[in-house]
Each structure stands twice: as C-alpha cells, then as structure tokens.
Structure 1
C-alpha cells in the first residue's frame, strides 16, 4: 500500500472527507447523549467542575432522607403534645367536678364563743353600753374606810393618819385597764398619756383616762362614773385588784375590747392574729373579722351575740388550729375552746373516691401517650435527642433536646382515695398542678413548632440548592440540540459534497486507464 501514490487533489478531498466524517460522528454522539462535554477530553474544566457540582448535589440529596425523618419525629412529638394537652384538660374536668360537688362533710370543724351581750355583726364590741359607776373610798393604812373621796383628793397621802387619801398602798406595779387601754402608775404628781402619777389628783386621773380610752368620766358625791362616748360603743374596766377596789369598781364582763385572738394555721392557711378594737388594723365588725380569717381558710357568723368560727369549704376536711390569746383567758369569750374534727358524709366521700380513680386513670393514659409519641425509634417526649445534619460537610447541624413528659415530668402524681379530693382546697391544689402542666405543654409545643419550622426551611433550602447545583452542572455539559441538529445536517451535506469531489478527482485517473485499454 505504501507504493500507492494518490494525486494531490484526491488526497486533499480524502482528508476533507475524513475530517467531515469525524465531525459528523462527534456531533451525532453529542445528539445521542445530549451533552456537549462527555469526557475530560471534550473540556477538562467544564467536565470536572460539573462532576464536582453533581457530587455535592448527590451528597445533599442523601441528607434529605434524614431531614425528612427529622420532620416526622417532630410531628410525632407535636401530635403527642396535643394528645397530652387533651388528657390534662380531662383531668381538669375531673378536678372541677370536685368543686361542683356538695361539701363532703355533714359538720365542719367549728367553735362558738360565749354570749357577748349586745354584740352584733356591725359591732362585736357593743355591750355594757350603760355607764359604769363605782364609789371611790379612802383607805387609810389601818384598813379603815373613811368617807367618799373628792375629785381634788390626792391619790396618795400620809400613811396611817386617816387622811382623805386614795389607796396609800398604791405602787408602780398597779394598773387600771379601761376599754382595753392599760394605764400604769408612776412616781410623781404628773399624769399624761397612759401614765398616772401616784401623787396626782383623782380628777386629773379621770381626765387622762378620758383622753386615752375614749370614755367620759365624772365624779360626784364620791361616785366615779365611766360612760361610753356614743350609743355604739361600750365601756370595759379591768386592772389591779387594789385599784378597782379603791375606785369601787369591778372588772367587767367578757368584752373583746383590747383582747387578742390567735388561731394556728388551718388547712394549709396562714395563722390568724387578731386584736379586737376600733383602732387601725384592729377588728370590731364581722366583716373585718372575716377578712382577717380568710387567709386561714376560716369564716365567722354572729347569732344572738355568739361568734361562731368554722372552716370554709376549701378546708372542710381540716380541723381548726389551736386557739390562743387573751380572749381565751378565764371569763373571756373564747375561754377553753377547742375545735372538734369535721364529720364526713359517707355518700359524698364515696363519690369523691370515684373521681380519684378517674383522675389516676387519666394519668396512666398520659404516661402511655408520652411513651408512644415516637418515630423511627426517636421519642422527643421520652428524653431522646434528635440531631440533624443539613450540609455535606457536617458543620451545619441542629440538635433538639427531648423532654420527659410522663405524669411525673409534668409535675403530676397519683391521688389517694380518702386523702385527696376531700375538699375544695385539695381539688384546687390539683388544679394548680394541672394548670402548670398545661403551661409546660404549651411552652414545649411552641419550641417544637419553632424547631419544625427551622427544619422545614432547611429542607426546602436543600431541595432548592440541589436544583441550583444540577442546573449549574447541566449548563456546563449539556448541548444545544438545535445547534447540533443543524451542525449534523450541514456536516452530512458537506460529506456528500466531499464524496462527489473525491469522485471527480478520481475521474482523471480513470481517463488514463481508458487510454491504456
């Protein structure tokens, strides 16, 4: 073959035909694959760049499955939260039934004072409203009784002389109590405020008492009269026996004026400390008394001058706490009072025991619901943690820490029949815990919703990013089929022309051959 010699025109046409055939083959291959870059030989830069973009798109695509599972885990937890909230609402309904049920006791714990003469709901201190009258005498040191004293007589005189003095034996240890105000005796001849000078006159003693105790006093014919300032107030007298004897007065009645009453904490309430009187912060009416008792789950009524204190419905199962104070002293209205325990109503308590069983059943459902709120082995309501990876490098992640929302995790505990739901206070205590559980669930639902939104945004972002990467890769490698089709048609035409040209070039040699024949 090496000895065959082609003419220049034949060789030129042959090379052109070969070039056209090669271009046509490439164009047809591009049309068949749809790519203008099929290998690194076609365009190294575009080929490897497109391959890198496709690889990244593939890696991110693989993450979409994991992200999709994460979305389902969050939705499962959110579904669990919704169900738990419904169960908590059911438990609230049961507790509210307790509040709507009749009081579970035939008799609540209570105490009743002795009769306070004239006491009413508007004035617990209103008794002994008339004037108190006593005859003051002068007692000499020998114990003899002389004539009645006058307003100008000194409280102390010369001992043993029989002079017109009042209680020669008076000391600073003595005292006089008028309307709950205590007057102490002091050395000297001056009286002021709640201090009485031993050397002062009886008239000045009385004016000092008037100013501090809110009474009107007078002395006439040896008689001392203490009168109330109005028809709505009374007068009470007390103090040292020597003083009362010298004034011819006797300690009066069981007035609550100036007395104190303390009741220990009842049914989880706040201990009560009361001072009876008309001054600021003191108690003189039934409304004021009930205001003071309310924080200790107690309430009071007044009937025929007697004050009855009983527990409220909230603390119907409780016994009134220990009662102390000066109002419990001998001859006082609350002397020796101890409250008895409440008497339960069997039918009502049986109904409440049934509500306890229903409540505990709801808690059991809360526990099982929290355990079942899982997807693909991950339960965000049972303490699991969900970690999601959003990019191919593993640097973009989100960790969602789970919670434990069984009954204990929500701050709820089983109730005990005969101990719980006995009264309104126990029901309110349960409702407080349930309201707290509802708040906790709503807060977690908000957190889950926020995390779900983040995950869905990243999921959509990754889908869009994959499309961007694949589009970029295609732009580097995909061919324009319209252009290739035109090129193919043109190359086919050129190939036909080249064949014809080659045929023409060969005709000269055929003519020579004809001559040789």
Structure 2
C-alpha cells in the first residue's frame, strides 16, 4: 500500500480490513435490498446465466399459458352452445310429439312453434363466437393451440357446421337429412306436423303409395312421417351429444395443459431462485457482524493514534 504518510503495519492492516469490511457491507446491503445474492454476471457468472435461462423459459411458458386459457374459453363457449342446442332439440321433439294425433288447428300452431324453435337454434349457434372464432358454424374453422415453444406439442380442434344445409354433412346436426336447414334457419321438414301430402317431397316419401283420394293421406302413412321426423330429431340429439363430448374432451386436455404449464413455470422459477436468491436471515446477520467489524477497526485506528500521540508527548 503506497502512501505519502507513513503508517504502522498495524494501521495498514486495520485499514485493509476496514476496506474489505466496507466492500462486504455494501454487497450485503445490496443483497438485502434486492433479495438476491446474484444480481449481475460479475457476482456469479454460472449462476447468473443458468438462472436467466430458467427465468426466460418461465416467461415464455406464462405466455403460452395465456394462449391456452384463451383456447379453453373459446371451446367452453362452443360447449355452452351445444348444451343450449340440446335443450332446443328436445323442445322440437316435444312439439312434434304433441302435434301427433292433434286436430288441424293445433298442428298449424305446432308448425309455427317448430319453425321458431329451429330458427332460434340456428341463431344461437351463430352467436357462439369467441373473439371472432366460431367452431360450430364452419368445418373450415379450426382452433390451434401450441403448448410449448420448444416442441411440436399442439392441439388442433376442427370446426363443425351444426346448421349445415349440405346433403350428408357428417358435421351437421341432421347428418342424414337432405338440406335439413333452410337459409332462414328453419327446417325443411317443419311442416311435417301438419301431416299433409305436400310434406312428402322434403321428407323423401314421394315414392310411397298414397290413397286415391286427392289431398288425403292414410293414417298409417302420417304416423310413418311423424316417426321418421321423430327419429331425425333423436339422431340430431345424439349427434349433438357426440359433438359436446368431443368438445368436452378437448376442454379437459386444454385445462390439463394449462395446469401443467402453470406448475412447470413455478418449478422453473423456483429453480432460478435457488441460484440467485439470498438468505435474508444470513445477510442480516452478516450486516450486523460487518458493522461491528467496522466499528472495531475504527476504534483500533483511534487507539493506534492515541499511542502515537503519547509518544509525541514524551518527546516534548
């Protein structure tokens, strides 16, 4: 240690100890203030970079979790819609069964009810949109959720077309009905509750034997038409249940991945903390010890100075 002032070896050792204690004290205070023992690459390069990697991975997974949770909401919205559709289909079935054997005026009223319920069903499906996406109105719609930025783990949910008007649309409610839904959302076989011959074309019964009476239809044939429509409603209920089950499974998968991602993020973050966090109890004790060491060093210099003053007094 170079100085223009000559110090005794004891004083020099004491000053070095004070400087070291001051440096340690500043480090301890920094740890107490930040809660970390590794705040920069100079503190511990290996721990710093390892923890940074873990923290960065945690942040990326938290972003993925947000996307997964949005997918859960989108599919849940569709699932809510299919649940409501089930109720409307059962109302259609009730109206159809209530019209069977009823008088003409009652069947006319039932037809109106039947059409209105069908329209409400179609409108409900169209309203099941989440952030611009509706997976119940188009088979070309899809929801793709990526679970990790490091792997190809992805869940893709293809859309359905519950109110599709195409023939043999396996993704529609009425998979076996020819153009079941009209453009306005009503059903092509709504008028079946009237039980008249005009309904035979849309129901596919044009080849059946009619009686020779104009504008009449046999009771057995009317029952057959009612039975056919009733079967179509039952098939639609079963189809809707299958679609609901598929959506429910996908929601469960997404929720499981969301939970895993949340737990995994916590594990990674804790791993980073183990590399960087300081033991505050230890650092607090160190702070007290260093403060005491500084006080002792200062007192030691004071005593040394007093000794030199005594020597000076003897020389006078």
SS of equivalent residue, structure 1 residue 100: coil
| Counterpart Cα distance in 2 of 1:508 and 1:98 | 118
SS of equivalent residue, structure 2 residue 18: helix
- Normalised to the residue count of structure 2, the TM-score between the two structures is 0.80
Partner of 2:173: 410
Gaps of 5+ in 1: 102-347
Residue pairs, 1:97-496, within 5 angstroms: 97-101=98-102, 348-383=103-138, 384-393=141-150, 395-406=152-163, 408=165, 409-411=172-174, 412=180, 413-415=187-189, 416=191, 418=196, 419-420=198-199, 423-496=222-295
Q: CA deviation at 1:394?
A: 5.6
- Any conservation in 1 of the 2:137–2:164 contact (CA below 8 Å)? no
- Any conservation in 2 of the 1:35–1:478 contact (CA below 8 Å)? yes
Q: CA deviation at 1:79?
A: 0.9
- Any conservation in 1 of the 2:72–2:251 contact (CA below 8 Å)? yes
Higher RCO structure (Cα 8 Å, ≥6 apart): 2
Partner of 1:237: none
Q: Please state which structure has a larger fraction of its residues in helix.
A: 2
Partner of 1:26: 27
Query: Deviation string for 1:172-215 (max 9, x for gaps)?
Result: xxxxxxxxxxxxxxxxxxxxxxxxxxxxxxxxxxxxxxxxxxxx
Residue pairs, 1:85-100, within 5 angstroms: 85-100=86-101
| Counterpart Cα distance in 1 of 2:26 and 2:4 | 30
Q: CA deviation at 1:2?
A: 4.6
Number of aligned pairs? 271
The more displaced of 79-88 and 383-392 is: 383-392
- Any conservation in 2 of the 1:98–1:427 contact (CA below 8 Å)? no
| Counterpart Cα distance in 2 of 1:3 and 1:487 | 34
| Counterpart Cα distance in 2 of 1:39 and 1:420 | 81
Query: Deviation string for 1:64-97 (max 9, x for gaps)?
Result: 2211111111111111101111111111112112
Query: Deviation string for 1:325-349 (max 9, x for gaps)?
Result: xxxxxxxxxxxxxxxxxxxxxxx44
Gaps of 5+ in 2: 166-171, 175-179, 181-186, 201-216
Partner of 1:503: 302
The more displaced of 399-408 and 32-41 is: 399-408
Partner of 1:218: none
- Any conservation in 1 of the 2:32–2:283 contact (CA below 8 Å)? yes
- Any conservation in 2 of the 1:98–1:424 contact (CA below 8 Å)? no
SS of equivalent residue, structure 1 residue 356: helix
- Any conservation in 2 of the 1:356–1:420 contact (CA below 8 Å)? no
The more displaced of 415-424 and 495-504 is: 415-424
SS of equivalent residue, structure 1 residue 388: strand
- Any conservation in 2 of the 1:366–1:407 contact (CA below 8 Å)? no
SS of equivalent residue, structure 2 residue 132: coil
- Normalised to the residue count of structure 1, the TM-score between the two structures is 0.50
| Larger of the two Rg values belongs to structure | 1
| Counterpart Cα distance in 2 of 1:515 and 1:368 | 109
SS of equivalent residue, structure 2 residue 143: strand
SS of equivalent residue, structure 1 residue 403: coil
- Any conservation in 2 of the 1:367–1:407 contact (CA below 8 Å)? no
Report the CA distance shift for 1:484/1:477 in structure 2 as closer, same or farther (over 3 A): same
| Counterpart Cα distance in 2 of 1:372 and 1:454 | 25
- Any conservation in 2 of the 1:360–1:414 contact (CA below 8 Å)? no
